[in-house]
Structure 1
């Protein structure tokens, strides 16, 4: 707070003393006007007039729990478009922990994020559904192959999958003895030490399997927006099928899965409310991807599929290398 007499900052303790007779030396944080005795607003810090309209309108940071500072009377803040977190712009680069999966920031009074070996962090919710072992991915790969089959896009070829360090993915392929990494399959490699929840891993696999399917089916060289767009559409469809268990596609996938895996427990077909919320978050990430090629390609692709269906959209892409309009 600011003392009018000395024009100096005062501590919270001195602020409380102001109630007993020196309240006139305290300025309202929002209006910069002197707060008189009997007018001091004590339930928040910094101090406000009890009748100050800005106190009701001012935004509180969801991360540090302080009022977000204003600049020339204007409060500027950042907001997570899915989770709705409002926070001080300074938290973008002050070392505040961010979940590498769902992108939430860690609140100062919230639960601790889990530190991974490569320095990334996972929130407790994402961590509870994370995939850590290569063996955990195999049933997921089979499930997504079955999902492709329900879309009349059978993919029988075995998809190579490896859990490797993130720096390994960035090394030239010639550094890896006896290993061939196809560009369209590169994203299938889940980064060791930076695990993701099952649904996010699955959407990545669905996206990359679509690259593989296009390659195996002889689709011509496509522009990045078209190819990445249709791959994002399939990943989006898979996530939707997992969340909307009662949908036609989801029931077909479940039926096929049951016929191939008769011993499979039904509990694996149902998601908890927390996991559904994370799935909706990953859907939102696809819809609002910061990459222009991915985002615009997805928007055109999902519009085409909604209007003409997946098969006709793929037929058009194969013939004309673009989405139908």
Structure 2
């Protein structure tokens, strides 16, 4: 499965692309062209500092013009300092010389007062001093002057400074169009670029039309595309979701791996037709809606006729009733971990045992008889959770979450509560667990969403007409809303007052 990222200009450089957002899964399992809204704007390369320049960008208005002699800082300590009592040029003792020349803070043999670079006599010249040595101005500039950032020749006279470098005016032009640089400028690989030519030269290119990308673009299959260039490899339809085959994107209809998309009841091809789905994504024709019974476990449309003498069950619930003791341990751990995310923790755990309904009725309280689960107590202490055999995994999870509510109240020393309060708390534990069950295939743009079957179970709790179970849950929920309390806060209130907050 692949994902796509859309981006736009304005916030980051070409070399530091970012994205943030969400992947969408389509209704029938397709990959979506979407997603993360980031950008590649700025149209600038990433440069080093002035001392180790790699590349960069600035505004042409930031450059300055100068006409002075500027010394290259890298050559600032190149000359050797003259030693006292020695001629700086020949380095011989000058103490007893017949004649000397005193200049630039040192004493010289007259014939040794020469330019260190061209070796010409400097006694009748106006020297430029560098570290106590006399230079002709031309020699000084050649030896120590600042080099142009493009041609590497010494810059004399008018010069342009930008991006931490100095340039001849004739070199301060775009390397591509040779026009004087204005506005946003860029330096890359030893060359200067105007903004338009830099974008054309360095900006990422579309994997479809191969033109430079600008504005929003899509990232998919390790390539970047204009949104209108990301099309099906066969029919050329612009893709909003896609299937990948041999590195190419296809629409659902052209996908070489596509399986027949048929009604789960009559097996008529649903391609291009409107259809409905039950909780478990089983598609069926609209005309079948209401003609088949609802599943007695999950209350969704049953897409097959029930077996004779058995209650109607959907395909999912028929195939997922093989819960064993090992599975119950895994389920209990999952329930406890998910409830912990809501701030609901019990100090120790208890085994879960699968039994028939008669066994549950033996240990269940009066209000719990006939329910698919109960907690078996030894005196005041809980011993184990009993769950009816033959239930699907999701129903077992829901039942265990309810029983954990009872155990929580017991282990935390709550006073004896009226059945409506205790069952209301336990039903709230069930709902909080169900709210953690996220659909692995969320709808686009809405973030993680609760699984449809979990939503159905929450609905059953909220609409339960039992005064004890449904009434208790609604009483607690309304009290939390009225008092603006979280569940942990409401539980503290119940501990103190043995009744719902209000």
State the TM-score, normalized to the length of structure 1.
Answer: 0.52
The whole-number CA distance in structure 2 between the counterparts of 1:324 and 1:154 is 21
Report the counterpart of residue 488 of structure 2 in structure 1: 311
Report the counterpart of residue 391 of structure 2 in structure 1: 195
Query: Which of 202, 207, 212 does residue 407 from structure 2 map onto?
Result: 212
Report the counterpart of residue 460 of structure 2 in structure 1: 285
Matches within 5 A, 1:120-199: 120-171=311-362, 181-182=376-377, 188-192=385-389, 194-196=390-392, 198-199=393-394
Closer/same/farther in 2, CA of residues 145 and 283 from structure 1, 3 Å limit = same
The whole-number CA distance in structure 2 between the counterparts of 1:212 and 1:140 is 16
Report the counterpart of residue 238 of structure 1 in structure 2: 433
Give structure 2 stretches of 5+ with no counterpart. Answer: 1-278, 280-288, 365-374, 442-447
Q: Is the 8 A contact 1:114 1:123 kept in 2?
A: no
Query: Number of residue pairs matched?
Result: 198
The offset of 1:245, in angstroms, is 7.5
| More helix, by proportion | 1
Q: Is the 8 A contact 1:305 1:313 kept in 2?
A: yes
Q: Is the 8 A contact 2:476 2:500 kept in 1?
A: yes
Report the counterpart of residue 58 of structure 1 in structure 2: none
The whole-number CA distance in structure 2 between the counterparts of 1:115 and 1:221 is 46
Closer/same/farther in 2, CA of residues 322 and 234 from structure 1, 3 Å limit = same
Q: Is the 8 A contact 1:162 1:189 kept in 2?
A: yes
Larger Rg: 2
The offset of 1:125, in angstroms, is 2.4
Q: Is the 8 A contact 2:329 2:351 kept in 1?
A: no
Pick which of 214-223 and 148-157 moved more: 148-157
Q: Deviations over 1:8-56 (max 9, x none)?
A: xxxxxxxxxxxxxxxxxxxxxxxxxxxxxxxxxxxxxxxxxxxxxxxxx
State the TM-score, normalized to the length of structure 2.
Answer: 0.35
The whole-number CA distance in structure 2 between the counterparts of 1:288 and 1:126 is 22
The offset of 1:211, in angstroms, is 0.3
Note if 1:112 corresponds to 2:305.
Answer: yes
Matches within 5 A, 1:92-111: 99-104=295-300, 110-111=303-304
Give structure 1 stretches of 5+ with no counterpart. Answer: 1-81, 88-95, 174-179, 247-269
The whole-number CA distance in structure 1 between the counterparts of 2:496 and 2:308 is 48
The whole-number CA distance in structure 1 between the counterparts of 2:399 and 2:308 is 22
Closer/same/farther in 2, CA of residues 317 and 294 from structure 1, 3 Å limit = same
What CA RMSD, in Å, does the superposition of the two structures yield over aligned residues?
Answer: 3.8
Q: Does the residue aligned with 2:458 lie in a helix, a strand or coil?
A: helix
The offset of 1:288, in angstroms, is 1.0
